[in-house]
Amino acid sequence: MGRLPFIAGNWKMHMTPAESATLAEDIAERVAGFHQVTVALFPTALSVPAVLSATRGTTLAIGIQEIEVVSQGAYTGSNSPTTARSMGCEYFLVGHSERRLRYCETDDRVAQRLRAGLDTGLLPVLCVGESLAERKAGTAEAVVCGQLQRALHAVAPDQMPSVTIAYEPVWAIGTGETATPKQAQDIHACIRAWLTETFGSSIAAATRLQYGGSVNAANAADLLSAPDIDGALVGGASLNPAAFTAIVTAAISA
Ligand code: PGA
């Protein structure tokens, strides 16, 4: 089954709303003619309104980096999934290692956020990945499958077409050290095998799997040509419009 490539830019806590809108407009223009790919941007929550209005009517999808587990209430500082959806966000990130590590995000909370977003009609990009110590200990596959199990156990098979999974080895994020295409493909194959076992082969064959971790214009084509890598979640290089567009182009030609 052909899976539409999916390239997403995770802008983390970078840029003001005005800077974000300018970069989003630039990227929208560069990818305007590309239809055989999904391209999404994840600005900071504070920049979401500016980026949504800068990209209205373009092919770009916009996502929010973090959502709360409920749609409203006494949750100081949090982002409501319902509000994000009503503003025009289509996607959300969940389980990113920076949230897991810096904010003690547990698998349980990841699962709750995932369900809250799905119930609101937002599309999750679920991030999983092992640490360097776990890779050295030979437990990368077990760690990733454990994270999948705990995040997706309560997701119904009919909700799975909304889910994208991003494999992001923690040791490759923001470090300039990328997983080799073989290392990435091995884990992607293992994720697809886990999906087959859990949800059946047609859901496994249709689910888009992204690689994330120091993806750039130079290494994207090799990574994206691996059979189970359907796209990329791009941090640093997504702040550079030429580099990000080169990654989108690589995804289309992979
Ligand atoms: P990076 O970040 O491309 O800068 O390594 C990826 C991510 O955190 O999603």
The yes-or-no verdict on residue 1 having pLDDT over 90 is no
The answer to whether the CB of 58 falls within 8 A of the CB of 26 is: no
- Burial grade of 136 (CB within 10 A; 0-12, 13-18, 19 or more): exposed
Question: Within its chain, how far is the Cα of 126 from the centroid?
Answer: 6
- Give me the pLDDT at residue 2, please: 85
Query: Atom 2 (ligand 1): residue with closest C-alpha?
Result: 235
How sure is the predictor about 244, in pLDDT bands with cuts at 50, 70 and 90?
A: very high
The answer to whether the CB of 39 falls within 8 A of the CB of 21 is: no
Q: Determine the 3-state secondary structure of 54 from DSSP.
A: helix
Question: Residue 216: CB within 6 Å of ligand 1?
Answer: no
Amino acid at 131: S
Amino acid at 200: G
Q: Which of 68, 134, 141, 168 is catalytic?
A: 168
- Give me the pLDDT at residue 144, please: 98
**Residue range 37-47: mean pLDDT, rounded:** 98
Question: Residue 236: CB within 6 Å of ligand 1?
Answer: yes
Question: Residue 129: CB within 6 Å of ligand 1?
Answer: no
Condensed to tens digits (0 to 9), the pLDDT of residues 209-237 reads 999 999 999 999 999 999 999 999 999 99
Q: How many CB atoms lie within 10 A of CB 107?
A: 17
Q: From ligand 1's centre to the CA of 177, what distance in Å?
A: 11
Pick from 6, 7, 10 the residue to mutate for probing ligand 1's pocket: most ligand atoms within 8 Å of its CB: 10
- Give me the pLDDT at residue 92, please: 98
- Give me the pLDDT at residue 105, please: 95
Question: Residue 173: CB within 6 Å of ligand 1?
Answer: yes
Query: Is 168 a residue of the active site?
Result: yes
Query: Atom 6 (ligand 1): residue with closest C-alpha?
Result: 235
Q: How far apart are CA 162 and CA 76, in angstroms?
A: 28
Structure tokens at 87: 């503003």
**Partners of 231 in the β-ladder:** 6, 210
The yes-or-no verdict on residue 150 having pLDDT over 90 is yes
- Type and span of the H or E element at 229: none
Q: Determine the 3-state secondary structure of 92 from DSSP.
A: strand
Pick from 7, 215, 219, 224 the residue to mutate for probing ligand 1's pocket: most ligand atoms within 8 Å of its CB: 215
Query: Atom 1 (ligand 1): residue with closest C-alpha?
Result: 235
Mean pLDDT, the chain, as a whole number?
A: 97
